[in-house]
Amino acid sequence: MAKASSRPGRRKNNRRKKRSLKASLLRWLVIGCVVLVILCIPLLLWLDYRVAQQLDAHHWTIPAKVFARPLELFVGSAIARKDVLHELKLLGYQAGNGDEPGSYRIRGGQLQLHTRGFLFGDGRETARAALLDWHDGRVSSVRSGGQSVDLLRLEPLQIGGIYPGHNEDRLLVALEDAPKGMLEALLAVEDRGFYEHFGLSLRGIARAMWVNIRQGRFVQGGSTITQQLVKNLFLSQERSLARKLPELPMAILLERRASKDQILRMFLNEVFLAQDGGRAIHGFGLASQYFFNQPLNELLPHQYALLIGMIKGPSYYSPIRYPKRTLKRRNLVLTVMAEHGIMQPAEADYAKQLPLGLNTQTASTARQPAYLDLVRRQLAVDYRLEDLQSEGLRIFTNFNPLVQRAAEHSLSLAFADIDKRPARTEATDFKPAELEAAMLVSDAATGEVVALIGGRRPRYAGFNRALDARRPVGSLIKPAIYLSALELPDRYTLASRINDERFALPQPDGSVWSPDNFDQQSHGPVMLLDALSHSYNQASAALGLELGVDRVRQTLRELGLEGDIPELPSVFLGAIELSLYDVATMYQTLSSGGFNTPLRAIREILDANGQAIKHYGLDIEQRIAPDSLHLILFALQEAMRNGTGRSAYHFIPKNLAVAGKTGTSNGQRDSWFAGFGGDYLAVAWMGNDDYQTTSLTGSSGALRAWAYLFREIGARSLDFVPPPGIEYAWTDEQTGKRSQENCQSALYLPYIAGTEPLQFAPCSDRSRRVPNWFRWFLGEKP
């Protein structure tokens, strides 16, 4: 009985001990939680401080954006409709009804479009619908709202940017910039409870934990949009528990510090969506431009569904690398949109049938590494690199996409012609694959650089041959010799006779300098006009020696050439290495009326708020007297009509008055041409980087590319009006004396007043050669 009565007591003591143990564990658990909270308070305070500090000081580093010139349309504009359409496509305009911003349509011979508007330095250009008409290749009517418009200005094409060290690029947008349905679709896919939760989704966290446990590794995060923003702004991108733990409290703290709309706006601008070479594409605004070449507010559901779908994995769902996978993901987003009533099921089914519609062609067209290189160099004079990389400056340039396209096409045509030539077996013969090229096009009057090509493949960044390749220029230097002579009118005129014969000139080192003509022939006494137009080496060297090296060097300085100029007579034949940019600087002085006009890539710079902070105006200085300039331009036109440049007229109109000069270096290693009309100057070069021979002369290589360019852009004739102090007189080309007009050997030549020949020569029986390009001066039709 005693044993039986003790069993209830033992059970009672066991229960008492268990209750005591539970109470003890609970006390320790409470104490532990209190201690943990106390220990976490400093951490939470530090995290809260970090979040608050980041929000208060948050400032995205916005790279400087570089824009082309805006296309300006007005009555009388000499631009074809096809060129306007090309620019609209570059800007991402879509063929449609022409009633919505960023759309256009063709109505018979008319073009209906709706501009997007843009903030320029002189004010905002508002978006508006317009109707344009053409007649004889010119804009004949510009109307908007039923009224005539003096000027219609399109937004400029962005051709690049200057990026910070981390290479992040973005285009900031507001929530109002999102197209209808996009924000709802984003939340339906990424965070359905965004406006209800406090920064975390407990259901999402539980689902992610279950998936991670089943997989045995960290594969899913269950993150809300707030958490994703925290990860992007404050933490790394790695998937680990160590990164995930601080993310949770920071998301809650971020929700306490910022409104839901603020968080959503920051997410739209921060999320990473693509990699473009070394540039990281952040935010929906820039991704819209990058993938579709359209502003965000113009995207259609199937387009923004693609961007939303990429958030899950920008590399995995890259539409460029994995189009099929990305298309499946986009269609899943469209299905979710239909399920949530964002769009009708029939609309979603239609959208699923549409292609991805990436605008990769225009994205590559807008990339202009050579021109951007020039922009950076000219900006470096006035700005620190840090400001250009982070302050959101807007740089407006003189870049003309239409001229750039024509320049690239002209080089392609010239290379195609060269590649068609019969192959030769000489070991020194050039190989077309090795041949390189460069070209610069500027406004003939102002020096504004409108196009630049740094190599045979214009889209590839690298060695910029237009700026950095220094090559022998050959006969391109000769106009400086003849200009030096014509500036001495008491000694030289275009009719002066100079001797084109071989000679030998001993040099200080014991060698002998004895130049030859390209055709290995001597031509005896020739007019100064013919010596230049036919590019006779012997006559040019003899004239240079008469003038002296120092005088020719001084003329080269007047033409704008800087740097070292050899004090050797070989410089008369182009034994000097210059960049294409240097050559363009020289010929710019000739094309702009004798004014030294520095080549300019930049027009204006605005700050991030659209306020003008610097305007790059004309900086000119008269270097060449108008009368001397008129004579040298006459000779350079003669070079095009009857001299080394005459083959250009196989391509350009016969009535187009242009001036120019070919250049060929020793061994035919370099093919050059520089020439201009009334609107543009262009300099072209072809050669091999390793200095191998090209078997090209200036006229068979570079001139051909130049001629194709001037044909394609519809260049305007040189405005060649005699200035005060110039008199024209009939001159006998055999003797340089005065001639009767009806003599067969009579030429009508310009002279500085008082220097024209007085003594008459008898008429010779040599055929008359009146330059065709100057018949307009005689009142005849060309």
| 347 among known catalytic residues | no
Residue 135, both tokens = 């007649």
451 forms beta bridges with: 441
Q: Distances from the Cα of 133 to the Cαs of 76, 80, 98, 111, 145, in angstroms?
A: 11, 10, 15, 7, 15
SS3 per-residue string spanning 631-656: HHHHHHHHHHHHCCCHHHHHCCCCCC
200: number of Cβ within 10 Å: 20
Residue 86 and residue 402: Cα distance in Å, rounded? Answer: 8
Residue in this structure with the two tokens 């005065």, named with its chain if needed: 738
Active-site residue, selected from the candidate residues 100, 140, 184, 190: 190
749 forms beta bridges with: 729
Residue 565, both tokens = 């100029």
First to last CA, the chain: 143
| 475 among known catalytic residues | yes
Residues 740-773 as b or e (16 or more Cβ within 10 Å = b)? eeebebbbbbbbbeebbbeeebebbeeeeeebeb
* Long-range pairs of 609-616 with CB within 8 A, sequence gap ≥ 24: 610/119, 610/121, 610/124, 610/394, 612/121, 613/393, 614/382, 615/121
Which residues touch 675 (CB under 8 Å, ≥6 apart)? 587, 636, 640, 645, 648, 658, 659, 660, 661, 681, 682, 703, 706, 710
Pair 343, 181: CB distance under 8 Å: yes
150: number of Cβ within 10 Å: 7
Q: Which 3 state secondary structure label does DSSP give 201?
A: coil
Q: Which 3 state secondary structure label does DSSP give 126?
A: coil
134 forms beta bridges with: 139
136: number of Cβ within 10 Å: 6
Residue 26, both tokens = 């609970």
Active-site residue, selected from the candidate residues 390, 475, 695, 739: 475
Residue 373 and residue 461: Cα distance in Å, rounded? Answer: 9
SS3 per-residue string spanning 202-270: HHHHHHHHHHHHHHCCCCCCCCCHHHHHHHHHHCCCCCCHHHHHHHHHHHHHHHHHCCHHHHHHHHHHH
Residue 402 and residue 696: Cα distance in Å, rounded? Answer: 28
Active site residues: 190, 475
